[in-house]
Structure 1
Amino acid sequence: MASISGTAIGTSARPLLAARAQVVKGFSGLKSVSFSIQRKSFPSVRLQAASRRLQVSCVAKPETVQKVCDIVKKQLALSDDTPVTGESKFSTLGADSLDTVEIVMGLEEAFGISVEEESAQSITTVQDAADLIEKLVDAKSS
């Protein structure tokens, strides 16, 4: 995954945004942009006081999220009227650890990928699963 980091020290966002635009033009496969802010110089950007870090990440395609939602519904035997979205947590949907393993196995089969155990343990929401799937599918095709 491509990643770019930069540091903002000035009092204006323009130089930082211009630098970001120049760097992004050079990356065709950009997946994540991360900036660490040293001073409060962006009043319009809300940051967590503790981390003072802004991170912009691309999310999975809507069709990937929908396919993951469908697989989760099937694996957990949820009714058609049960809402499952990218923000849905497996635990909130009633999944225990065995159900989560079965969901990951279903995703591996459906997408033709293999999920490492460490990565599988970090999946708690449908969106987490969809993002990981796209990352693995991209890595497999390159």
Structure 2
Amino acid sequence: MASSAAGSALSFASPVKAANANLISFTSLRKGNAFLRLQPVPMRFAVCYAAKKETVDKVCDIVKKQLAVPEGTEVSGASKFSDLGADSLDTVEIVMGLEEEFGISVEESSAQSIATVEDAATLIEKLVDAKSP
């Protein structure tokens, strides 16, 4: 186990192994007075909706244009609007540009949940798919 001035971290002494296809088990971990025991639980699956690369690339281009991002600055799916210098007004303008480009309408509540380029691209694809017959 490792410890630092900023805090402490737990580490596994041996690899975690799957008990079978339906259960995963972990050994107990102890750090000082802290005790962590992870019990076997059934595996759960979540369906993730990942945006297509073309959509992410289009959103990147729109974000670069709206924010006047300097040439050479990398903008990817993981880029946060706030890290690129966007404030709330900039985010509204980005959403308006996306609505115009993709022919969609974004609800205000949905727009407030957009923090990254990937978030925007995923929302766009959901809205475009819902709009298609």
User: Normalising to structure 1: TM-score of the pair?
Assistant: 0.65
Which one-letter code corresponds to 1:87 in the other structure?
Answer: A
Aligned residues: 100
* 2:70 matched residue in structure 1: 79
1: distance between equivalents of 2:119 and 2:132?
A: 20
Per-residue displacement from partner, 1:9-59 (whole Å, max 9, x unpaired)?
xx632xx6xxxxxxxxxxxxxxxxxxxxxxxx135xxxxx7xx86524130
In percent, how many aligned pairs have the same letter? 71
CA-CA distance at 1:114 after TM superposition: 0.2
2:129 matches 1:121:
no
Q: Which entry has the higher C-alpha Rg, 1 or 2? A: 2
Match of residue 46 from structure 1: none
SS at match of 1:57: coil
State yes or no: 1:42 paired with 2:24: yes
Q: Does 1:66 align with 2:48?
A: no
SS at 1:88 equivalent: coil
Where structure 1 has 5 or more consecutive residues not aligned to the other structure, the ranges are 1-10, 17-40, 44-48
Alignment of 1:18-57 (within 5 A): 41-42=23-24, 54-57=45-48
Aligned partner of residue 113 in structure 1, secondary structure? coil
Aligned to 2:84: 93
Counterpart of 2:20 in structure 1 is: 12
TM-score, reference length from structure 2: 0.69
In structure 1, the partner of 2:6 is none
Query: What do you get for the CA RMSD once the two structures are aligned?
Result: 2.1
Runs of 4+ residues over 2 Å off in structure 1? 52-56
Mapped to 2, the partners of 1:54 and 1:95 lie a distance apart of 34
Amino acid at match of 2:48: S
What does 1:95-110 align with in structure 2 at a 5 Å threshold? 95-110=86-101
Please list every run of 5 or more consecutive structure 2 residues that lacks an aligned counterpart in the other structure: 1-18, 26-37
1:53/1:97 Cα in 2 relative to 1: closer, same or farther (>3 Å)?
farther
